[in-house]
Structure 1
Amino acid sequence: MADPYSILGVSKGADDKAIKLAYRKLAKELHPDKNKDNPKASDRFSEVTQAYDLLSDPKKRGQYDRGEIDENGQPRFAGNPFGGGGGYSQGGPAGGNFDFGNGGIDLGDIFDGLFGGGGVGRPGGGPGPRSQHAPPPKGANIAYTHLVSFTDAATLAPQRIMLGDGKTVEFKLPAGIVAGQQIRIPGKGQPGPGGHGDAMVTLKIGRHPDLVRDGDNIRIDLPISLKEAVSGGKVKVPTVDGAVMLTVPPRTNSGAVLRIKGRGFTAKTGVRGDQLVTLMIHLPTDPAELARISDILSDSSVRENIGV
């Protein structure tokens, strides 16, 4: 990923408000729901979301600005004990193996050589006993990080990830998905005497410009007009499954919460949560329109009909 400041189009001195405004603008333009025929927009949306996740976290932003972590949130290493300027390889094998930039030095092989090829299994540096019945070891696992869009996480949409060998593999998201959760893809790790290791995919969940997760539910603050609040009517509400029309009852107060069943995240039980819509009355800014509404409400018969 490129520099997160460049991705969002903000300067390194930008404050939190400027970063949030830049993200909201790009997220609305690039959201997958608006670009279903443009896969590049979906990739760009994920990139923008990942950049915002880093810069919106004061701790991570500070670490990035000081050069302690890279654009993917991975630690940077100044060097290695063997010379050369290699660093940690994000797509490298999990379990302590590092890529030092010169063909990938396996520390296990080096220590085996230092101690006669048998490890350090017993005092004195000699090889430790090995069970004759122990199966040959599999290859090392390989760690990956995958950003899931908010909509995909809620609807459990199938995911695709590119592996270190350039091939792509599809996998399913688990019910009850949470950020930081790991998915194991068997046989997609490094080769070994006992077969390939696994790919270990750590999931991140992107943010949505309008929707917020609340456990298995999803919340949204929806502005409505004073006329809609007084007289009732139909309003359009975005959800992770597409926009729906919601009926606002007459004489609805600002702050009232309406529920849309089954439009939230899928719990571990397989049951989807709901979407909770908080209605916020939005008054017009035009003085003439405000005066017209005031004149209508001053009519005693109107007030009696609407219960004001």
Structure 2
Amino acid sequence: MAYKDYYDVLGVSRGASDADIKSAYRKLAKQFHPDKNQGDEKSADKFKEVGEAYAVLSDPEKRKVYDQYGHTGQVPPGYGGGGGFQGGDFAGFDPGQFSDFFQGLFGRGGGGGGFRNPAGQQVNLEDLLGGLGGTGSGRRFVQNVEGELQVTLEEAFSGSDEVINVDGKRLSLRVPAGTRDGARLRLAGQGPGGGDVLLTIRVLEDARFDLDGDHLTTTVDVPAPVAALGGDVKVQTLSGGSGQLSIPAGSSSGRRMRLRGQGWPRKDGTRGDLYVRLNITVPPHLSDEEKELYRRLRDLQH
């Protein structure tokens, strides 16, 4: 496999801060997310590559090892190639081999027996390099496996059933409705050697909705005549449904209105609110009758 420079993949410098790395990753993950580029294999490959890079550079220990050995094509003494982590040191190590190992060990199952976002599932590199035990030719994990599970904002809102692969074993789990970014899930005893699988949930950004605390914010287009005279517009909710919003006469762009109880699920069973930002629009193409009406309105302003 060809060598990959994970800093180049994310478009950041080697001295980039954690915040810069996270910002670059979120931007690229949003740009190449499979849900927004369905059927585009190049975007899917780029999304995986971005996930691989973030998996290493976002973790201080993994980044330290990569900075010391990965970008030079070397690995620490005692970790050989070919048949896995055997004895003996060697040169010419390709850090992309870590990516293949990560994906084979810890992928998220998708439809048709394939993987969904496999590079988003991160195995703790310290466990890989220092958590191997056993004697003889066989090796096994004796420590917990840590990873990240990426879900969309809609999946985190409504909850979702996921399938992941850990060391060749398919595991099912439920992401509860209302799960927050950074929440931790534990699959006890399901890791290699009887260890636990510890998952950190990462909620991807959504171009349609912003989450602030328990409240969501979205933008809805309102035709100029409706804004001037008042009327109803349809608002899409994150649950996949829609609601009617009554627009008061004389409304202007930027005005915020509220749909109560349409926000983020709370632990007590209630929900926050959905705030709707109005965006007043004018048709790009007007009929002759519409043009005449707008001319009359314009002339009334003088």
TM-score tier by shorter-chain length is 0.5 to 0.7
2:157 aligns to what? Answer: 154
1:240 and 2:242 correspond:
no
Counterpart for residue 205 of structure 1:
203
RMSD, aligned CA: 4.9
How many Å apart are 1:160 and its aligned residue? 2.7
More strand by share: 2
In 2, are the aligned partners of 1:154 and 1:264 still within 8 Å (CA)? Answer: no
Which of 32, 35, 41 is the matching residue for 1:30? 35
CA contact (8 A) 2:228 2:250 kept: yes
CA deviations 1:179-234 (Å, max 9, x no partner) are 2222101121122xxxx221101111112121111111111122211111012223
* Residue matched to 2:119: none
Question: Would you say 1:97 and 2:153 are equivalent positions?
Answer: no
SS at match of 1:172: strand
**1:148 CA displacement:** 0.7
What letter matches 1:293 in structure 2? Answer: Y
Amino acid at match of 1:169: L
Question: Which moves more between the two structures, 156-165 or 288-297?
Answer: 288-297
Q: How many corresponding residue pairs? A: 234
CA distance in 1, matches of 2:57, 2:190: 27
Written as runs of structure 1 = structure 2, the 5 A alignment for 1:239-278 is 239-247=237-245, 248-278=247-277
Q: Percent identity?
A: 21
CA positional deviation for 1:176: 5.2
What pairs up with 1:142-221 in 2 under 5 angstroms?
Answer: 142-165=145-168, 167-174=169-176, 177-191=179-193, 196-221=194-219
Report if aligned partners of 2:29, 2:47 keep a CA contact under 8 Å in 1. no
What does 1:18-57 correspond to in 2, within 5 Å? Answer: 23=30, 30=35, 48=47, 51=50
With over 3 angstroms needed to count, the CA separation of the structure-2 counterparts of 1:74 and 1:158, relative to structure 1, is farther
Amino acid at match of 2:240: G
The amino acid across from 1:181 in the alignment is: A
Using the TM superposition, give the Cα deviation of residue 284 of structure 1 relative to its aligned residue in structure 2, in angstroms. 4.1
Alpha-carbon distance in 1 for matches of 2:200, 2:128: 18
Larger radius of gyration: 1
TM-score by length of 1: 0.57
Instruction: After superposition, give the CA deviation of every residue in 1:9-52 in whole Å (9 maximum; x if it has no partner).
Output: x9979xx9xx969956x66x9359xx9xxxx89xx88985994x
Q: Compute the displacement of 1:109 (Å).
A: 7.3
Report matched runs for 1:225-236 at 5 Å.
225-236=223-234
Shift in alpha-carbon separation, 1:267–1:45, aligned structure 2, 3 A: farther
Residue by residue over 1:237-278, the C-alpha shift from the partner in whole angstroms, topping out at 9 and shown as x without a partner, is: 222112414232333232222222333222233322221101
How far does the alpha carbon of each residue in 1:70-101 deviate from its partner, in whole angstroms, 9 at most, with x for none?
Answer: 9xx9636321122243866654875943248x
Read off the aligned partner of 1:30 and give its amino acid letter: D
Compare the two structures and name the one with the higher helix fraction.
Answer: 2
Alignment partner of 1:277: what SS? strand
Amino acid corresponding to residue 281 of structure 1 in structure 2:
I
Give the letter for the 1:212 counterpart. Answer: D
TM-score by length of 2: 0.58
Structure-2 change in CA distance of 1:105 and 1:200 (3 Å): closer
Residues 283 and 105 of structure 1: is their aligned pair in 2 closer, same or farther, counting only changes over 3 Å?
same
More moved, 268-277 vs 205-214: 268-277
* Unmatched tracts of structure 2, length 5 or more: 13-22, 70-74, 79-88, 107-121
Residues of 2 paired with 1:215 and 1:231: CA distance?
34
Give secondary structure in 2 for the equivalent of 1:281.
Answer: strand
In the alignment, the residues of structure 2 paired with residue 46 and residue 274 of structure 1 have an alpha-carbon distance, to the nearest angstrom, of 37
Name 1:133's counterpart in structure 2.
Answer: none
